[in-house]
Amino acid sequence: MSLYINDECINCDVCEPECPNDAIAPGDEIYVINPNLCTECVGHFDTPQCVEVCPVDCIPKDPDNVESKDELQLKYQKLQPESVG
């Protein structure tokens, strides 16, 4: 399941540079996460880095984009083919 940023976001800019898949970008009012790029940091880290640095806890799992850990791993492998050995 990918993550999303809810309207509690304060636009503090700390999440965007932490995303290893470049899934986070500025939106019209708050930052947004592209669910096609979000792997919850599977393949990179043990925990989602954006969630780790968010000071207001505004990045929950996205119920509209449910994915298993295996599906997230496959997405990571497609996004980062050079890391698959």
User: What are the pLDDT digits (tens) for 5-44?
Assistant: 999 999 999 999 999 999 999 999 999 999 999 999 999 9
Provide the residue range defining the domain that includes 68: 16-83
Q: Taking a C-beta distance cutoff of 8 angstroms, is the pair 12, 45 a contact?
A: no
Whole-Å CA distances, 40 to 5, 28, 43, 83: 13, 23, 9, 17
With a pLDDT cut of 70, the percent of the chain lying above it is: 98
Taking only the tens place, the pLDDT of each residue in 37-78 is 999 999 999 999 999 999 999 999 999 999 999 999 999 999
Q: Which CATH number belongs to the domain containing residue 68 in this structure?
A: 3.30.70.20
Q: Does the predicted TM-score (pTM) go above 0.95?
A: no
Count up the domains in the chain and report the number: 1
The share of the chain scoring above pLDDT 90, in percent, equals 92
Tell me if 4 is assigned to some domain: no
Token representation of residue 35: 């669910």
Closest CA to 37 of 29, 48, 28, 46: 48
